[in-house]
Homo-oligomer: A and B are copies of this chain.
Amino acid sequence: MAEEDKVDDASSPNLAEEFDEIAETPNQVGLSDDSIREITDALHEPENDNHVALIEELSNADTADLLQKISEDDRKELLEKNDTEIDPQTFAYMDSDLCKSTLSAMSASQVAQIISELDSDDALDLIENLDEDFQQDIIKQLSAKTRIAIEEGLTFPEDSAGRLMQREFVAIPEFWTVGKAIDYLRAAANDLPSEFHDLIIIDPLYHVVGEIPLNRILRSKRSTRVKELALDELHTVPADMDQEEVALIFRRESLNSAPVVDNDNRLIGVITFDDILDVIDEEAEEDILKLAGVEGDDLYRAILSTTGNRFRWLFLNLLTAIAASVVISFFDATIEQIVALAVLMPIVASMGGNAGTQALTVAVRALATKELSSTNMLRVISKETLVGTFNGIGFAIIMGVIAALWFDNQTLGLVIAAAMIINLCFAGFFGAAIPIFLDKIGSDPALSSTVLLTTVTDIVGFFAFLGLASIFLI
């Protein structure tokens, strides 16, 4: 058992000391608000450079944190006063909006300098967000090798495997032995990528024929042929595959890295799990934001750009709300006679909207994770319709009693009860059906589902309630 390895003897005092140091390191994630305050305070002291030492101590992720959280003025001041202390890697950790505005304020040669020190995937990630003219100015200043890598990278579609991959990898021929592979890795140590997790076996035409996790190399005898160590299943990723698909493959197969191939199935790069951690987070974030009508994470975007961004979606919602108002206006004579209807009608619409959103969110997530497809589509829609109807019956009873007592009118109670059942039944059905339908026709189910659903639940809600009222109460 590996965990039972006895650590022989030789309990050196050094170890105890080192351990003490480690124990003192607090395990807090990210930079604390206190540390940030300390740095901005130091930054504002006119006569000294204490902040330089404080910033030099930070990891790149922490520096990125710091830059993101301080005000725009502080950020400018900090970048100006510390341009040599800030590691280019810091920019790879920053939010893309903020990174764009920060880099756009620099000269092309400064950005080229930063980019040339990053891995090919991080470099591409940084440059792809910049304006095209600026991109060209930067690319001109890069070394031939970096330039070609960046220009080729930009030819792949956005959010594709080609944009995500790094071009640095370790590939070996299948007839090598473990001993030969280790000798090669030792000899080439300085030319290898700084991190790698698998060895890729290729044929003379650069076609991928296998993948070997490093632990299999380490635990095998020198004479073992590398082909015997390859994983049973090979998961090559075409360069134009969407990153969301790639992330699903990584999750399903618990991959550490995957080779990326071009149209001729030749190895051109590698995607590693750390790229995928970001993708999974981004894609889930995209869904959650889209459902609420926010395009992209706009935490760091300027106020006017954020306003414009959100205006579009609110405008769509306004159209929905006006449509619902038109329905209400059909029944203005009824409302004039029984003003209790005006008091109660938002309840029916709002319950429908909320019940529908529950069904819709579950369906949107299940579509994103491919747990929902043609096979179980009808089962999911009928389940959601039933759940909506059952909750409709529950709330019909509660709200029927409340309305009857409140306005001392049993028929009104029956009318709102019936409207509640109808609307929640529709809400369940359309909540599941709208995203499935959007997915079938190739639209993004997260993007417009909510607006369509609210249109349905508002219109059905008002129509059912006011319509039944005009029949039974007048």
Q: A215-B196, A277-B280 are in contact. Are A22 and B220 (CB under 8 A)?
A: no
Contact among B221, B236, B288, B361 for A186, CB-based, below 8 A: B221
**A307 is contacted by which of B37, B69, B387 (Cβ under 8 Å)?**
B387
A376 within 8 A of B: yes
In the complex the two chains form, is B351's CB within 8 Å of A321's CB? yes
Asked if A195 lies at the interface with its beta carbon under 8 angstroms from chain B, I say yes
Q: How many of these chains are in the complex?
A: 2
User: Known contacts A209-B15, A299-B371; is A314 also within 8 Å of B346 by CB?
Assistant: no
Assess the B292–A360 pair: CB atoms within 8 A: yes
Answer whether residue A193 sits at the interface, using C-beta atoms and an 8 A cutoff: yes
Whether A192 sits at the interface, judged by CB under 8 Å, is yes
CA gap between A414 and B334 in the complex, in Å: 26
A365 touches B297 (CB 8 A): yes
List the B side residues contacting A292 at CB < 8 Å: 291, 357-358, 360-362
Residue in B284, B298, B335 whose beta carbon sits within 8 Å of that of A285 in the complex: B284
Per-position binary interface string of chain A over residues 205-235, scored 1 when its CB falls under 8 Å from any chain B CB and 0 otherwise:
1111100011101111100000000000110
Within the assembled complex, what's the spacing in Å between the Cα atoms of A311 and B273? 39
Closest Cβ of chain B: how far from A229's Cβ, in Å?
11
> When the two chains form their complex, are residues B351 and A318 in contact, meaning their CB atoms are under 8 A apart?
yes
Question: Which of A1, A5, A291, A340 has the largest number of chain B CB atoms within 10 A?
Answer: A5
Which range contains the number of A residues in contact with the other chain?
35 or more
B234, B280, B365: which contacts A22 (Cβ < 8 A)? B234
Is there a chain B Cβ closer than 8 Å to A399's Cβ? yes
Contact A186 B220 (CB under 8 A): yes
Q: Which B residues are CB-close (under 8 A) to A366? A: 297, 299
**CB-nearest residue of chain B relative to A316?**
B354
Contact (Cβ within 8 A) A343 B350:
no
State A386–B304 Cα separation when bound (angstroms). 9
- Could you give, for residues 240-266 of chain A, a 1 whenever the CB lies within 8 Å of some chain B CB and a 0 otherwise? 010001001111111010000000010
- Known pairs A287-B288, A311-B394, A321-B351; A192 contacts B168 (CB<8 A): no
The answer to whether A106 has its CB under 8 Å from any CB of chain B is no
Contact pattern, A 135-170, Cβ under 8 Å of B = 1, otherwise 0: 000000000000000000000000000000001111
Given A299-B371, A362-B299, also A220-B351 (CB < 8 A): no
Given contacts A284-B281, A304-B390, contact A3 B169 (CB under 8 A): yes
Stretch at the interface among A27-35, A108-116, A435-443: A27-35
Pairwise interchain contact B274-A254, C-beta atoms closer than 8 A: yes
- Give the docked Cα–Cα distance between A92 and B298 (Å): 37
Looking at the complex, which one of B69, B182, B248, B379 makes contact with A376 (CB distance below 8 Å)? Answer: B69
Given A252-B61, A278-B251, CB of A355 within 8 Å of CB of B310 = yes
Contacts A171-B2, A394-B311 given; indicate if A207 touches B287 (C-beta within 8 A): no
Pick from B192, B219, B315: contact of A215, CB under 8 Å: B192
Which one, B304, B332, B383, contacts A342 given CB within 8 A?
Answer: B332
Contact pick for A171, options B5, B10, B241, CB 8 Å:
B5
Does A402 make an interface contact (CB < 8 A)? yes
Q: Which of B284, B372, B383 contacts A288 (CB 8 A)?
A: B284
Which of the residues B16, B189, B376 comes within 8 Å of A220, measured between beta carbons?
B189
A129 within 8 A of B: no
The answer to whether B29 touches A249, judged by C-beta atoms less than 8 angstroms apart, is yes
Residue from A33, A318, A346, A387 with most neighbouring chain B CB atoms (10 Å) = A346
17 residue pairs of the A-B complex, CB under 8 angstroms, read A2-B169, A3-B169, A10-B175, A18-B209, A27-B237, A27-B249, A192-B215, A197-B256, A288-B365, A307-B391, A310-B355, A314-B391, A321-B351, A322-B402, A325-B343, A332-B343, A346-B346
When A and B form their complex, which 4 residue pairs have the shortest distance between CB atoms, in order from nearest?
Answer: A284-B284, A292-B361, A342-B342, A254-B274
